[in-house]
Amino acid sequence: MKFISFEDPESTILSLSALSGATCGAVNLFAPNEGHDMFFEEATPKNPSCTRWLGHAVTSTAIMTASHNTEDHTVRAKKDTLKALSVVHGSMAGLMAYDLYKEDVKKPLAIGHICLHAGLATACLVRGFAKDKDEKEDVAEKKK
């Protein structure tokens, strides 16, 4: 069973999503003070317990994403997962933009995060709703 795969567009996007979540989540889960200091400005209150909970939630989402990227899952199932992930990544880009506006997060890292998550959200939407050749043939067969 492969959890990380770059064999097709859906698997590639799922893999990138899982990797981005796992790295961010692990930092906050296992090194909450360092994770907080990496992302947030000094004036933003620090709470290591809450940061660990955040890390756990993000890591859990990454693991769930990776579990939908196995050979046993159909392209349709992967596309449905991508649709859901478009909301996850889009809302993360929005949340980071809001925190940047409020000057709670460090600007260079926030801009990078916004771009990463907006890009992943877009890729998830495009591939999640794309009609591939096989799907078009299936739809045509069902109409007969």
Q: Per-10-residue mean pLDDT for the chain, 144 residues long?
A: 69 91 94 94 94 94 88 87 96 97 96 97 95 63 59
Longest CA–CA span in the chain (Å) reads 64
Choose among 41, 45, 35: nearest CA to 106: 41
CA distance 3 to 26: 17
Name 40's bridge partners. 105
Instruction: Look at residue 5 in the predicted model and tell me its pLDDT.
Output: 66
Instruction: Look at residue 67 in the predicted model and tell me its pLDDT.
Output: 87
Name 105's bridge partners. 40
Integer CA distances (angstroms), 100 to 20, 41, 117, in order: 20, 10, 14
User: Would you say the C-alpha torsion 7, 10, 12, 14 has a positive or negative sign?
Assistant: negative
**40: helix, coil or strand?**
strand
pTM: 0.84
